[in-house]
Amino acid sequence: MHAQDVDTKLRGPAVWALVLTGVAGFMAALDNLVVTTALPAIRADLGGGLEDLEWTVNAYTLTFAVLLMFGAALGDRFGRRRLFIAGLAVFTGASAAAALSPGIDALIAARAVQGVGAAVMMPLTLTLLTAAVPAARRGMALGIYGAVTGLAVASGPLIGGSLTEHISWQWIFWLNVPIGLALIPLARLRLAESTAPGARLDVPGTLLISGGLFGIVYGLVNATSEGWTSTPVLSGLILGTALVAGFVHHGFTNADPMLPMRLFRDRGFLGINLASLLMFLGMFGSIFLLSQFLQGVAGYSPTEAGLRMLPWTGMPMIVAPLAGILSDRIGGRPVVAAGLAFQALGLGWFAAVLSTDVSYAAQLPPLILSGIGMALYFAPAANVLMSTVTPADQGRASGTNNALREVGGALGVAVLASVFSAQGGYESPQAFTDGTVPALWIGAAAVALAAALALLVPGKPRSAPAPTPTAPPPAAVTPAAVTPASVPAPASGSGSGSGSADKIAVVG
């Protein structure tokens, strides 16, 4: 009886933590792609050009990316539950502001504030969940959390399209409000508070990377409308690049930076992170254009467009478990590289068949191939990443990878939209197709380069030779043995994001 009582006490807080953090993570992940199928309706209602639509997506992903590790460090220093609730409140309020936006500029501003809330909330979901779940059940809980956030990404275009068609585009934001209002008091009552004494905030690093990425994306987004040689565009690109270079220098010279650049000296860490950035660059930029193509050129309703994207965005839910088993047998490197190659082939196939009268039957094979590729990439990516660093660096490694993925998504929308606007536009179905095709080829090339970079990751280590009878078997731990599942989350320590981010073992 006593054992059962103990088990019940352990299960209750863990279940509450899983539900609360899972729902919060679902909302934050959903808002990455939920807006894509609503873009034509937003443009028709609020006006604005291509650059405004780009910022509607990028305002969220950029603030999310550059503040993610800083948000984790804030939770370490001032209380994880307190900052989780604060981030949730900001995200909920910004969602309401986005729904009430009277114009496109107000919507972009609200989306930026949404990203700030998500950047504080999202990394702390995993910290709070890890702290509440016993070590013996942590793998299962993190697996459920990962599946929930994966479902949010898969269903984003469909949910956005359905709400836009059957109610209004504003409801893709209103949806967050009642959920957020319900979560705030429950989080206060059901989640335990914790801090990491001595945690430091890397304010200079945060300012450098925030300003640098904003300048680069601003230049890319406005290059077509204002000209590549215009003063605002050149200033943004040059100043942004200089600030990013300053961030890199800061990461080498500062005693406790947000992102220690020494990690990139490992070719495996460098390869998997550059591959992740390029994969999201190609994927996000392509989805941004194809979701509009399906409505503006192919003539589908928002709901129909969302449904037709599912073979791509939803395929990881089916294939990822099989990909995980495969990676355990042959190693993560060939699976990740093959997945990226499939994704590149799918995008290239799409570019080859796209026309104003293309049938969905012709689109289905590249959609499925891209979806399989995405699944093969996602399943082993976190394990491959963690195998390149020591347990002490796993938190920063995962936080870095999360941030670079979001940066890749923002750059993808900016770069591919620049190609689109240079070669086509919204004037007619043919003009839209003319702009989309070369953009997809650029996306395919970016993901193909990612596949090549993935080969930098060390392969699965060979089995050690059998020891001789005269010598005891050596005790050694290979880097590949250090996985998110096998290493318990380290205790919080000093450094930006080293407490909260140390426990980010699942990439949502």
Half-sphere exposure of 124 (CA within 13 A, CB side): 34
Name the percent of the chain in helix, strand, coil, to the closest 5: 80, 0, 20
List all residues 6 or more positions away from 122 whose beta carbon is below 8 Å from its beta carbon. 24, 25, 28, 29, 64, 68, 71, 87, 508
Q: What is the DSSP letter of 477?
A: -
Q: Are 172 and 50 in contact (CB under 8 A)?
A: no
d(CA 290, CA 205): 35
DSSP 8-state assignment for residue 262: G
- Per-residue model confidence as pLDDT tens for the chain (508 residues): 444 443 433 467 888 888 888 888 888 888 877 888 888 888 888 887 777 888 888 888 888 887 887 888 888 888 888 999 999 999 999 999 999 999 999 999 999 999 899 888 888 887 788 777 777 776 667 667 766 777 777 778 888 888 888 898 999 899 899 999 999 999 988 888 877 766 677 888 888 888 888 888 888 777 777 777 888 889 988 998 999 899 889 988 888 787 788 888 888 888 888 998 999 899 888 888 888 888 888 888 888 888 888 888 777 777 777 777 777 788 778 888 999 999 999 999 999 999 988 888 998 999 999 888 888 887 677 777 777 777 767 667 777 877 788 888 888 888 898 888 888 888 889 998 999 999 999 999 999 999 999 888 776 654 434 444 433 333 332 222 222 333 333 333 333 333 333 333 333 3
| Alpha-helical segments (H) within 133-175 | 135-166, 171-174
Longest dimension (CA), the chain: 80
On whether the pTM is more than 0.85, the answer is no
Q: Which two tokens stand for residue 236?
A: 């943004």
CA-to-CA distance for 153 and 314, rounded, in angstroms? 8
